[in-house]
Amino acid sequence: MTHQNPAVSDPDPESATAQGGPPESSPAGTPAAHTEPGRTASRWWSERRVPAAILAFVILAACGFMLFDVVRVRTGHTAAAWRKTLADELATRPIDDPWVITGAAVAAALGLWLIILALTPGCWHLLPMAAPDNADTPQAVLDRDGAARLLRDTALRVPGVSHADIRVRRRRINARAQITFRDLETVRTEVTEALTAQLDTLGLAQVPRLTVRARRRP
Amino acid sequence: MNSHSVLNRTLLTIAGLVLLGGGLLVLTGGLDLYRRWGLAPPAGWPLTSPHDTLLPAHDRTRWTGEDWWWPTVIAALAILIALALWWLLAQLRHRHPGRLPVGNPPVDGVGLYDGALSDALAADTARLPGVNEARTRLIGHARQPHATFDVTLDPDARPRDVHHALESTVQRARQSTGWEHLPARATLRVASHRPHRAE
């Protein structure tokens, strides 16, 4: 086995001496901002597998067709119709033609989109959880929809609430409750208290600001 | 950010810059912005007049008579295809560490397969209170494996408690393998369910 030697020789000594701190400073697959022992949770960065796969596939397909046809022509066949049309269009259509302008605009927009994808973190649906100062506790994130479900159930447990609509965003949470009985303001206060308490049990690194609106069901 | 993410993002940036640059070049020429805005493109700048075409026939056939042209084109396309294929396949799989060393110092001839350890971690996690379902994977190199937890919580779970309880899971895995570190990441979700009021 080729991987046996490095595997047996040094998993522990190396990671122990090289890092000294928590294992989150491992270069192999963890986000950047976790080297201090008293660590702060930061956003996770997506690996951007899907756009990369799509782009790789498009490049692969385009080059594959081109290579296939080039080799065909080299081996004595005639060029495919699509290639003749393409060469002809590229050679005769002026660049102020609407099609060319449209194509260029689409290409520029797509390019800008790819750059934005490459430079932004992504993972917008994951809320980082507060990391305790302990090397063994994993860095964790909580799914936004999951947080919304837990908060919805909490709001529904308050007497008088018949329907709750919770929108969880990165920095704020909007809760709308429909009240069927009891005093509107009392219920609103109780919902706010319940949600604040539940928000605490979520253990998020950055607790979003909570806005509760209540209205009586017509 | 891991190296995979860095690679993907770098290649996406390059592709984005090529598309954006090409698109803007054609747009500036096609909408005749050089003349309207009084810009003077450098000498030899392509596509400056709206009557230019993207690939004039004499440009396309400039080297087709040369001996080296077609072999070069074929080689370049083949290399591009190989790289694109490699990049595509890299998206479809995770790097698994395979056989992991056990013991501190590592015991010769004893190995633990990543699948066995991740199954054990998943079973251990699934037993925690509030956990509905757990999937675990070990990724990375055999020298520095790290674990990823994908945990689905019960509707009445407390995410912070589950998060803290995962510490014991990682600790047990570390103790039973004799490793000093096992970096881990966890994604917590909540099982989708109808609204319910019962505590």
pLDDT at A204: 92
pLDDT at B51: 87
Query: For position A155, which CATH number holds?
Result: 3.30.70.1350
* Same domain? A195 vs A156: yes
Give the model confidence (pLDDT) of B153-173 as tens digits. 998 899 999 999 999 999 999
- Nearest to B6, CA basis, from A155, A27, A63: A27
Q: In this predicted complex, what is the ipTM?
A: 0.84
Residues 6+ apart with CB under 8 A from A137: A131, B163, B164, B166, B167, B170
pLDDT of A18 higher than 70: no
SS3 A91: helix
Task: List chain A residues with CB under 8 Å of B164.
Answer: 132, 137, 203
**Is residue A65 included in any domain, yes or no?**
yes
Give the model confidence (pLDDT) of A115-151 as tens digits. 999 999 988 899 999 987 777 888 999 999 999 999 9
**Is residue A167 included in any domain, yes or no?**
yes
pLDDT of A80 higher than 80: yes
Contact B142 A3 (CB under 8 A): yes
pLDDT at B57: 86
* Same domain? A108 vs A85: yes
Instruction: Let me know: does B112 contact B100? Beta carbons within 8 Å.
Output: yes
* Same domain? A149 vs A212: yes
A67/B73 Cα distance (integer angstroms)? 8
| Structural domains of chain A, count | 3
pTM for the model: 0.78
Number of inter-chain CB pairs under 8 A, A vs B: 336
Contact A149 B193 (CB under 8 A): yes
Instruction: Let me know: does A67 contact A172? Beta carbons within 8 Å.
Output: no
**Is residue A133 included in any domain, yes or no?**
no
pLDDT of B146 higher than 50: yes
pLDDT of A162 higher than 50: yes
pLDDT of B21 higher than 80: yes
* Same domain? A61 vs A105: yes
**Is residue A88 included in any domain, yes or no?**
yes
- Nearest to A203, CA basis, from B97, B111, B162, B60: B162
**Is residue A129 included in any domain, yes or no?**
no
Task: List chain B residues with CB under 8 Å of A15.
Answer: 143-144, 180-181
* Same domain? A150 vs A189: yes
> What is the distance in angstroms between the Cα of B169 and the nearest Cα belonging to chain A?
9
Question: Which domain, by its residues, includes A110?
Answer: 49-119
Is residue A211 very low, low, confident or very high in pLDDT (cuts 50, 70, 90)?
very high
pLDDT of B67 higher than 80: yes
Instruction: Let me know: does A114 contact B78? Beta carbons within 8 Å.
Output: no
> What is the distance in angstroms between the Cα of B36 and the nearest Cα belonging to chain A?
14
pLDDT at B1: 67
A162/B197 Cα distance (integer angstroms)? 10
Contact B60 A101 (CB under 8 A): no
> What is the distance in angstroms between the Cα of A41 and the nearest Cα belonging to chain B?
12
**Is residue A131 included in any domain, yes or no?**
no
Nearest to B195 among A59, A94, A156 (CB): A156
* Same domain? A153 vs A212: yes
* Same domain? A145 vs A209: yes
Nearest to B50 among A94, A135, A201 (CB): A94
Domains by residue range for chain B, with CATH = 3-92 (no CATH), 99-190 (3.30.70.1350)
pLDDT of A34 higher than 70: no
* Same domain? A112 vs A152: no
* Same domain? A76 vs A113: yes
Place of tokens 């589950």: B162
SS3 A31: coil
* Same domain? A86 vs A150: no
pLDDT of B18 higher than 80: yes
pLDDT at A29: 36
Contact A146 B92 (CB under 8 A): no
Higher-pLDDT residue of B104 and B188 is B188
* Same domain? A173 vs A198: yes
* Same domain? A183 vs A212: yes
**Is residue A194 included in any domain, yes or no?**
yes
pLDDT of A14 higher than 60: no
**Is residue A19 included in any domain, yes or no?**
yes
